[in-house]
């Protein structure tokens, strides 16, 4: 259990390169992994007693922790000196790229090595499918997008690198020739989601994606836009069938009967930057002697990053193909989605392979991060909503979404789907037809960012709902309550949520809150020159991505000390502390050695995978499952609010096994209870309190005593597990010493006493059906927000006077972190609504000239620091597990602010952001 | 097409203006030189010699000088409120700094923590040893040239200066002189500092009349 | 190249020749390996790079390092996040940051810690009224950007350190 020891990793990446082999210098006192194991066995553990985070002390003392903190000299066994890479990007995507003007650099700013498209061709690298597109724009072509890399310059010394960085920033050293206009490319995906409910809530749907499958149109027009008309496709009549229902819904909205009120509105959202505070960076060294590429990275998707690098180099020619890749993953300085599946690790790997033997650091400055980092999609939406005047029930909904995906596909297809299937928010609507298309553009690549898709579509929805409630007229909260989906009701894809739907509670609390109750009084008492308005919004957000993996190990020493390893990434979300707290529920103590972002310490599970878990057929899955080592996916990104629900799942299950088959038998032994004693079966009745195991009528037992006995007895003192969820967990049975055990995991290894981990065969396994891929979302959590604004009529200056957010997240593993996420989500929502904006093309971040200052995010003075109330609802039942919440808390802030602005000014803005200048303009 | 490749965002409006005025410098078209925006020009006092009567000539001289006084380089630090502005687009200074008791900022964020003795191009930060805000009574932001003229002529609103002092202040003061060498991405004040000083002198010599 | 000597967390560095264009941030991070001081924007906008400068008169202020030349720190004495805790014992402010869960990703923490520490020391010299406290904390911290937390817990942590010892900070 030495924290520096790394288990041998046996999986083989694309191209036959072994991934994650343990590296040299295992016993160095400040090895990377030792630094990243928190809080460490010495010193204060803030998480014990709920006094703080596992990483609290490290972060408040400036420990080396983030990828950007590491240089070669910090890595035991590496050469001392660090070389530096400069990724040069195109500030133009409408002219032929003709080259970079290295001759214009001073002699002391010249690179030692230049890597361009030509060098990659010579080396024989490949581009992983997810990043399809040239890694470097070849000379003589028009860049595919603004900010596309054109060259990677490598410098042995820092000073030359620094001079060159400034020269490329401040001068036009990337040269262009003839104007070509932007590169045209097909859209990244188009879908149509249509649902027609049966006559009663109990009746089966007449048409629903869960029954019929997801459909895409088969044709595009000359401009590349999908043709949504009813046309069969080469794949069959499925599209025509769904589209026929969709067109009927639209016909009804176009020509409504007099009893129906229909509103149609356009709404646009802007491109924004995740603006995590630590710019992307990486450190890599190709050790030619061992033919090993060593990397230190900071991403939300470690497994994917290692796998992508292996694919990149898998069929490269010598000397550009390593035999081994050892990628290590650090704490990250914020992510918000923007570090999930980023191409940055590919360039970091190239830097090392083209300067062999020298550790190379590749790090964005902020200009470069704006120029090259993943952005949030800008959406253009047109929405129609039809409400039966008499009942106030929404009868039909139709929407068309167009997303600007920027230069590479990245997550665009997923964002389009998530936005579309989230477009009706919390509502139960019997007729829905939504089309969506993600387009290529020459803008900077858009991808994952907090609340992706739904932030855009639910904002459009919640301002429209507000408007139509006023038009009916009907109280906005009463209207929402009238139309809210109930537990067991069907979502747009035709499946119900697996969770309890808590809209009634949330709406009740919003309605009763003083910010809402006193809105009329506040408006009436507005001082001269100030306009006061109050807005409400309520949303639901899926957590999980429909193919979520969890890896976790829990070990307990003979002294009762606990160590946890997990593949989830710490990006501020408190996953390390959540792991410690959830594991403690089972084993009675807070871990003092937690490592996160570990993908290569689970070798004993001997996992294999194949196929794409999103598109696999049932027959393929059944066939694959015959291999007892097969799982639908090995490790997934820390994203989609899965930290609490998924990120802790495997460790929690492992902890339960350590308790049941290690600590519980040891406790029985200490209590003198034999196997025939009926009390031997009361392991679920016993509970932990203050580090002691308590069973009624018996002496409490201290954890260290139990752990020591478990070791002495050769019981289970460590468990390593893998879990997979496709809107439902895989479930398997294992033969443990002491009996069969069924749990929501699909792979397990255990350690007995001080032995090594041994894989256990699963005797039965149920993977979630392949059809579950037709679900839009089955896990969802809800949040409602109230905001009161004060707007100065003369200047348009807006002040948020008071705000309230109420939400549910099941069991809050670390309540203080949950609260902090909600406060942070509020701040980011304020930025999205009032401050943040990136122009799409030449004036936007792709030109390399953007930084904070031009781009404003919320400061303390933009927020109601002393008038922001957050309420976390208790779990729906004592057995409700942890649910994701870090995305949903941001979303209602945006429409609530817009609704408050409308209440104050009478003006409904239909595009984001709403700046002070726009408010001033609207008030004149 | 001289500006075939995109300019830094904040320079685009300027580029368009320069093209119209035929003022694009040759250097800006190559990859060899920094993207320093081209400054406007100032007419010499001589070129106003034909304007009669003298008062009109004086006012015309001040109007020419006004190209300097109303340039972003000058107005940004002569704000009407407590916050300076920055950039050619004259946005509010970020991070949000305030005038403070002495014009050097609030205790937690003083001007000289970032603005040192000289421009520092790696950080694109302008600098001068006397970097500070002009006092509120010397605010020019939002004022007409005539208002600025009357204000600058009044010692109680110009820092206690005589008219002759203004020749020195505008013509040779090194903080004012920064406006003609403001560093990357900031358009210099038009002409030269010496030309501006000459205009002030000529304006005084013609009676220091103010435009309407 | 210009000669540079300075004191960091009580330890003397230099004299050494450094490039005039080298930022103080790169001097700390690339030359000395003191990476507790972060790089966020390079434009004095986020202040995650701010360090404490101790003036000879006993007063202190924070200073961004990303837009300032290393040689501008010649002769100065500075403190960084690595220098707050003594012999492993956290300061009251550090403890409050941890116990309030003030930060999440932690990348802005060094800047907030330095700024708030300077504020505490200033209030010790110039006590303020309780009624002005929130505004003073707000002013002091407003230059610092945090993308994770929404700032509430940072402010609460600083306020609670002050309120825990009112005689020291408040009139």
pLDDT in tens, C46-60: 999 999 999 999 999
Touching chains, B (3+ CB pairs < 8 A): A, C
Q: Does B3 touch chain C (CB under 8 A)?
A: no
Share of chain A above pLDDT 70, in %: 97
Question: What is the pLDDT averaged over residues B106-130?
Answer: 95
Q: What is the pLDDT along chain C (171 residues), one digit of tens a residue?
A: 999 999 999 999 999 999 999 999 999 999 999 999 999 999 999 999 999 999 999 999 999 999 999 999 999 999 999 999 998 899 999 999 999 999 999 999 999 999 999 999 999 999 999 999 999 999 999 999 999 999 999 999 999 999 999 999 999
Find the closest chain B residue to C49 by CA distance: B114
Q: What element of type H or E holds A739?
A: strand A739-743
Tokens standing for residue A417: 């789907």
Of C61, C67, C143, the CB nearest to B120: C67
Measured CA to CA, the distance from residue A551 to residue A414 in angstroms comes to: 24
Measured CA to CA, the distance from residue A562 to residue A558 in angstroms comes to: 10
Q: Does A826 touch chain C (CB under 8 A)?
A: yes
As to burial, measured by CB atoms within 10 angstroms (0-12 exposed, 13-18 middle, 19+ buried), residue C1 is exposed
Do the beta carbons of residue A71 and residue A358 sit within 8 Å?
no
**For residue C42, which of C24, C28, C17 has the smallest C-alpha distance?**
C24
Q: How confident is the model at residue A589 (pLDDT cuts 50, 70, 90)?
A: very high
| pLDDT surpassing 80 at residue A752 | yes
Question: What is the pLDDT averaged over residues B82-93?
Answer: 93
Of C46, C106, C152, the CB nearest to A55: C106
Q: How confident is the model at residue B182 (pLDDT cuts 50, 70, 90)?
A: very high
Partners of A174 on chain B (C-beta within 8 Å) are: 5
Cβ <8 Å between A843 and B9: yes
**For residue A182, which of A144, A131, A149, A150 has the smallest C-alpha distance?**
A144
> What's the order of all strands across the beta sheet hosting A701-702?
A687-689, A692-694, A701-702
Cβ <8 Å between A170 and B184: yes
**For residue A702, which of A713, A691, A686 has the smallest C-alpha distance?**
A691
Q: What is the DSSP string of A339-402?
A: TSS-SHHHHHHHHHHTSTTS-EEEE--HHHHHHHS-BPPEEEEEEEEEEETTTTEEEEEEEEEE
Partners of C21 on chain B (C-beta within 8 Å) are: 121-122
Q: Does A170 touch chain B (CB under 8 A)?
A: yes
Q: How confident is the model at residue A33 (pLDDT cuts 50, 70, 90)?
A: confident
Measured CA to CA, the distance from residue A362 to residue A340 in angstroms comes to: 18
Residues pairing with A149 in the sheet: A89
pLDDT of residue A640: 83
pLDDT of residue B19: 35
pLDDT of residue A19: 62
| pLDDT surpassing 60 at residue B1 | no
Do the beta carbons of residue C80 and residue C48 sit within 8 Å?
no
| pLDDT surpassing 90 at residue B115 | yes
Q: What is the DSSP string of A566-609?
A: ES---SSS-HHHHHHHHHHHHHSS--SEEE-S--SS-GGG--B-
Q: Quote the minimal CA–CA distance from C112 to chain B in Å.
A: 12
Question: What is the pLDDT averaged over residues A861-870?
Answer: 98
Instruction: Give the number of C-alpha atoms closer than 13 A to the C-alpha of residue A487, restricted to the C-beta side.
Output: 8
Q: What is the largest CA-CA distance in chain A?
A: 87
pLDDT in tens, A147-201: 999 999 999 999 999 999 999 999 999 999 999 999 999 999 999 999 999 999 8
Which residues in A754-867 belong to E strands, given as ranges? 758-760, 762-766, 780-792, 798-808
Q: What is the average pLDDT value for chain A, to the nearest integer?
A: 94
| pLDDT surpassing 60 at residue A102 | yes
Find the closest chain C residue to B123 by CA distance: C67
pLDDT in tens, A333-365: 999 999 999 999 999 999 999 999 999 999 999
| pLDDT surpassing 50 at residue A646 | yes
| pLDDT surpassing 50 at residue A771 | yes
Which residues 133-152 on chain B approach chain C with CB closer than 8 angstroms? none
pLDDT in tens, A104-119: 999 999 999 999 999 9
> Can you give the pTM of this predicted structure?
0.94
Cβ <8 Å between C122 and B107: yes
Cβ <8 Å between A57 and C109: no
Find the closest chain A residue to C18 by CA distance: A159
Residues pairing with A193 in the sheet: A434
pLDDT of residue A13: 60
Partners of A69 on chain C (C-beta within 8 Å) are: 35
Which of B92, B95, B116, B185 is the best mutation test for C, with the most CBs of C within 10 A?
B95
Q: Does B116 touch chain C (CB under 8 A)?
A: yes
Tokens standing for residue A321: 């193909």
Of A170, A175, A852, the CB nearest to B34: A170
Tokens standing for residue A638: 């820390």
Cβ <8 Å between A824 and C85: no
Of A64, A366, A858, the CB nearest to C43: A366
pLDDT in tens, A207-262: 999 999 999 999 999 888 999 999 888 888 999 999 999 999 999 999 999 999 99
CB atoms near residue A699 (< 10 Å) = 11
Question: What is the pLDDT averaged over residues B41-65?
Answer: 94
Tokens standing for residue B96: 């949000």
The residue count of chain A comes to: 924
Measured CA to CA, the distance from residue B158 to residue B149 in angstroms comes to: 10
Of B1, B12, B33, the CB nearest to A171: B33
Q: Quote the minimal CA–CA distance from A173 to chain B in Å.
A: 5
Vertex B70: Cα angle to B69 and B71 (nearest 5)? 95
pLDDT in tens, A362-394: 999 999 999 999 999 999 999 999 999 999 999
Buried b or exposed e, range A386-396, using 16+ CB within 10 angstroms: bbbeeebbbbb
pLDDT in tens, A453-500: 999 999 999 999 999 999 999 999 999 999 999 999 999 999 999 989
pLDDT in tens, A428-451: 999 999 999 999 999 999 999 999
| pLDDT surpassing 60 at residue B7 | no
Q: How confident is the model at residue A599 (pLDDT cuts 50, 70, 90)?
A: confident
Do the beta carbons of residue B87 and residue B170 sit within 8 Å?
no
A736-740: Cβ within 8 A, 24+ apart: A736/A657, A736/A660, A736/A661, A736/A760, A737/A661, A738/A660, A738/A661, A738/A665
Which of B122, B124, B128 is the best mutation test for C, with the most CBs of C within 10 A?
B122
Do the beta carbons of residue A584 and residue A577 sit within 8 Å?
no
pLDDT in tens, A44-96: 899 998 999 999 999 999 999 999 999 999 999 999 999 999 999 999 999 99
Q: Quote the minimal CA–CA distance from B166 to chain C in Å.
A: 32
Q: How confident is the model at residue B36 (pLDDT cuts 50, 70, 90)?
A: low
Contacts of A634 (CB under 8 A, 6+ apart): A11, A303, A549, A551, A599, A607, A609, A722
- Cα-trace Rg, chain B: 18
Contacts of A511 (CB under 8 A, 6+ apart): A477, A517
| pLDDT surpassing 60 at residue A530 | yes
Question: What is the pLDDT averaged over residues B125-130?
Answer: 95
Partners of B114 on chain C (C-beta within 8 Å) are: 44, 63-64, 67-68
pLDDT in tens, A280-302: 999 999 999 999 999 999 999 99
Residue A662 carries which DSSP code? I
Do the beta carbons of residue A808 and residue A802 sit within 8 Å?
no
Q: What is the average pLDDT value for chain C, to the nearest integer?
A: 97
The residue count of chain B comes to: 212
Buried b or exposed e, range A252-291, using 16+ CB within 10 angstroms: bbeebeeebbbeebebebbbbbbbbbbbbbbbbbbbeeee
Q: Does B4 touch chain A (CB under 8 A)?
A: yes
Cβ <8 Å between A849 and B33: no
Q: Does B32 touch chain A (CB under 8 A)?
A: yes
Q: Does B106 touch chain C (CB under 8 A)?
A: yes
Do the beta carbons of residue A804 and residue A515 sit within 8 Å?
yes
**For residue A651, which of A780, A562, A728 has the smallest C-alpha distance?**
A562
Q: Does B109 touch chain C (CB under 8 A)?
A: yes
Which residue did the predictor score with more confidence, A672 or A3? A672
Partners of B122 on chain C (C-beta within 8 Å) are: 21, 23, 67, 69
Of C46, C107, C153, the CB nearest to A66: C107
Find the closest chain B residue to C118 by CA distance: B108
Phi-psi sector, A387: left (phi>0), alpha (psi -120 to 50), beta = beta
| pLDDT surpassing 70 at residue B16 | no
């Amino acid at each position: 259990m030495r924290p520096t020891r790394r288990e041998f990793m046996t999986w083989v990446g694309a191209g036959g390169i072994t991934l994650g082999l343990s590296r040299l210098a295992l016993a160095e006192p400040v090895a990377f992994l030792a630094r990243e194991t928190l809080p460490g066995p010495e010193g204060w553990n803030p998480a014990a007693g709920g006094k703080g985070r596992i990483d609290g002390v490290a972060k408040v003392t400036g420990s080396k922790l983030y990828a950007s903190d590491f240089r070669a000299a910090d890595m035991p066994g590496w050469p001392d000196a660090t070389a530096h890479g400069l990724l040069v990007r195109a500030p133009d995507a409408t002219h032929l790229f003709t080259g970079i003007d290295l001759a214009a650099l001073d002699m002391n700013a010249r690179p030692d090595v230049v890597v361009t498209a030509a060098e990659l061709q010579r080396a024989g690298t490949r581009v992983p499918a997810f990043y399809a597109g040239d890694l470097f724009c070849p000379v003589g072509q028009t860049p595919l997008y603004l900010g596309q890399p054109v060259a990677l310059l490598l410098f042995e010394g820092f000073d030359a690198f620094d001079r060159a960085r400034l020269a490329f920033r401040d001068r036009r050293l990337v040269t262009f020739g003839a104007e070509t206009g932007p590169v045209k490319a097909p859209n990244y995906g188009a879908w149509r989601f249509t649902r027609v409910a049966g006559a009663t809530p109990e009746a089966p749907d007449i048409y629903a994606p869960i029954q019929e499958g997801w459909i895409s149109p088969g044709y595009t027009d000359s401009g590349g836009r999908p043709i949504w008309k009813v046309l069969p496709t080469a794949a069959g009549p499925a599209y025509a069938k769904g589209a026929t229902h969709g067109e009927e819904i639209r016909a009804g909205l176009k020509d409504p009967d007099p009893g129906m009120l229909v509103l149609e509105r356009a709404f646009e959202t802007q491109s924004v930057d995740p603006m995590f505070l630590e710019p992307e960076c990486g450190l890599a060294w190709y050790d030619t002697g061992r033919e090993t590429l060593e990397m230190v990275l900071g991403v939300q998707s470690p497994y994917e990053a290692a796998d992508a690098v292996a694919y990149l180099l898998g069929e490269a020619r010598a000397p550009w193909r390593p035999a081994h890749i050892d990628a290590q993953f650090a704490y990250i300085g914020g992510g918000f989605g923007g570090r999930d599946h980023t191409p940055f690790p590919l360039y970091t790997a190239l830097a090392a392979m083209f300067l062999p033997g020298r550790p190379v650091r590749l790090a964005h400055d902020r200009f470069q991060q704006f120029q090259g980092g993943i952005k949030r999609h800008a959406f253009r939406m047109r929405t129609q909503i039809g409400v039966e005047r008499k009942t106030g029930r929404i009868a039909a909904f139709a929407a068309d979404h167009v997303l600007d995906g920027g230069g590479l596909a990245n997550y665009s297809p997923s964002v389009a789907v998530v936005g579309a299937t989230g477009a009706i928010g919390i509502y139960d609507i019997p007729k829905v037809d939504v089309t969506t298309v993600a387009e290529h553009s020459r803008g900077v690549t858009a991808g994952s960012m907090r609340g992706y898709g739904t932030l855009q579509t639910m904002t459009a929805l919640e301002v429209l709902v507000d408007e139509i409630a006023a038009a009916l007229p009907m109280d906005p909260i009463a209207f929402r309550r009238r139309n809210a989906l109930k537990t067991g009701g069907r979502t747009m894809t035709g499946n119900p949520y697996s969770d309890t739907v808590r809209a009634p509670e949330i709406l009740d609390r919003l309605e009763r809150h003083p910010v809402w109750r006193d809105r009329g009084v506040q408006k009436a008492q507005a001082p001269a020159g100030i306009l006061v308005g109050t807005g409400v919004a309520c949303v639901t957000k899926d957590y999980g991505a429909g193919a979520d993996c969890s890896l976790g190990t829990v070990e307990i020493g003979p002294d009762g000390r606990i160590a946890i390893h997990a593949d989830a990434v710490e990006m501020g979300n408190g996953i390390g502390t959540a792991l410690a707290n959830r594991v403690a529920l089972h084993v009675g103590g807070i871990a003092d050695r937690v490592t996160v972002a570990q993908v290569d310490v689970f070798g004993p599970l001997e996992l294999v995978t194949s196929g794409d878990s999103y598109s696999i057929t049932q027959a393929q899955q059944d066939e694959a499952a015959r291999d007892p080592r097969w799982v639908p996916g090995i490790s997934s990104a820390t994203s989609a609010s899965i930290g609490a629900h998924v990120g802790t799942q495997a460790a929690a299950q492992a902890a339960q096994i350590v308790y049941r088959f290690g600590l519980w038998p040891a406790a029985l032994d200490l209590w003198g209870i034999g196997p025939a004693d009926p009390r031997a079966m009361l392991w679920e009745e016993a509970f932990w309190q203050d580090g002691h195991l308590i069973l009624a009528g018996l002496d409490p037992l201290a954890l260290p005593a139990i752990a020591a006995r478990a070791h002495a007895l050769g019981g289970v003192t460590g468990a390593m597990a893998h879990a997979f969820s496709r809107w439902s967990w895989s479930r398997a049975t294992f033969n443990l010493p002491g009996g069969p055990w069924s749990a929501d995991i699909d792979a397990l290894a255990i350690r007995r006493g001080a032995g090594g981990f041994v894989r256990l065969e699963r005797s039965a396994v149920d993977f979630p059906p392949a059809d579950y891929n037709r679900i839009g979302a089955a896990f969802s959590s809800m949040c409602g927000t109230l905001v009161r604004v004060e707007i100065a009529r003369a200047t348009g200056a807006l002040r948020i006077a008071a705000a309230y957010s109420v939400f549910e997240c099941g069991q809050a593993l670390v309540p203080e972190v949950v609260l902090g996420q909600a406060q942070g989500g509020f701040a980011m929502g304020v930025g999205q609504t009032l401050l943040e904006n990136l122009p799409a093309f030449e004036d936007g971040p792709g030109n390399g000239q953007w930084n904070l200052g031009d781009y404003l995010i919320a400061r303390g003075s933009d927020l109601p620091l002393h008038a922001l109330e957050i309420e976390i609802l208790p779990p729906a039942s004592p057995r409700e597990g942890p649910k994701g919440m870090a995305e949903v808390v941001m979303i209602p802030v945006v429409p609530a602010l817009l609704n408050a602005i409308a209440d104050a000014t009478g003006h409904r803005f239909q595009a984001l952001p709403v700046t002070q200048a726009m408010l001033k303009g609207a008030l004149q | 097409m001289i500006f075939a490749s995109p300019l830094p965002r904040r320079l685009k409006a300027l580029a368009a203006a320069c093209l119209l005025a035929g003022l694009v410098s040759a250097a800006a078209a190559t990859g060899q030189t920094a993207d320093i925006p081209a400054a406007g020009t100032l007419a010499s006092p001589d070129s106003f010699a034909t304007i009669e009567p003298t008062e009109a000539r004086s006012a015309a001289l001040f109007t020419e000088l006004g190209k300097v006084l109303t340039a972003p380089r000058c107005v940004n630090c002569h704000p009407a409120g407590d916050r300076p502005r920055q950039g050619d687009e004259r946005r509010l200074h970020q991070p949000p700094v305030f005038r403070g008791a002495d014009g050097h900022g609030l205790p937690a964020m003083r001007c000289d923590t970032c603005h040192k003795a000289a421009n520092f191009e790696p950080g694109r930060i302008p600098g001068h040893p006397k970097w500070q805000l002009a006092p509120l009574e010397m605010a020019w932001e939002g004022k007409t040239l005539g208002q600025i003229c009357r204000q600058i002529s009044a010692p109680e609103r110009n820092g206690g200066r005589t008219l002759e002092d203004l020749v020195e202040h505008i013509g040779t003061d090194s903080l004012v002189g920064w406006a003609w060498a403001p560093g990357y991405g900031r358009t210099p004040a038009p002409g030269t500092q010496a030309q501006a000083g000459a205009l002030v002198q000529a304006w005084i010599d013609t009676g220091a009349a103010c435009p309407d | 190249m210009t000669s540079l000597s300075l004191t960091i967390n009580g330890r003397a560095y230099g004299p050494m020749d450094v490039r005039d264009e080298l930022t103080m941030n790169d001097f700390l991070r690339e030359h000395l390996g003191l990476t507790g001081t972060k790089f966020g924007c390079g434009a004095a906008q986020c202040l995650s790079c701010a360090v404490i400068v101790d003036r000879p008169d006993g007063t202190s202020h924070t200073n961004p390092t990303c837009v300032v030349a290393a040689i501008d720190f010649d002769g100065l004495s500075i403190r960084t996040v690595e220098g707050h805790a003594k012999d492993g014992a956290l300061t009251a402010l550090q403890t409050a940051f941890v116990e309030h869960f003030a930060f999440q990703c932690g990348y802005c923490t060094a800047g907030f810690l330095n700024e708030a520490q300077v504020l505490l020391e200033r209030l010790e010299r110039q006590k303020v009224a309780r009624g002005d406290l929130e505004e003073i904390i707000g002013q002091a911290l407003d230059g610092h950007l945090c993308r994770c937390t929404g700032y509430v817990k940072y402010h609460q942590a600083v306020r609670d350190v002050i309120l825990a010892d009112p005689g020291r900070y408040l009139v």
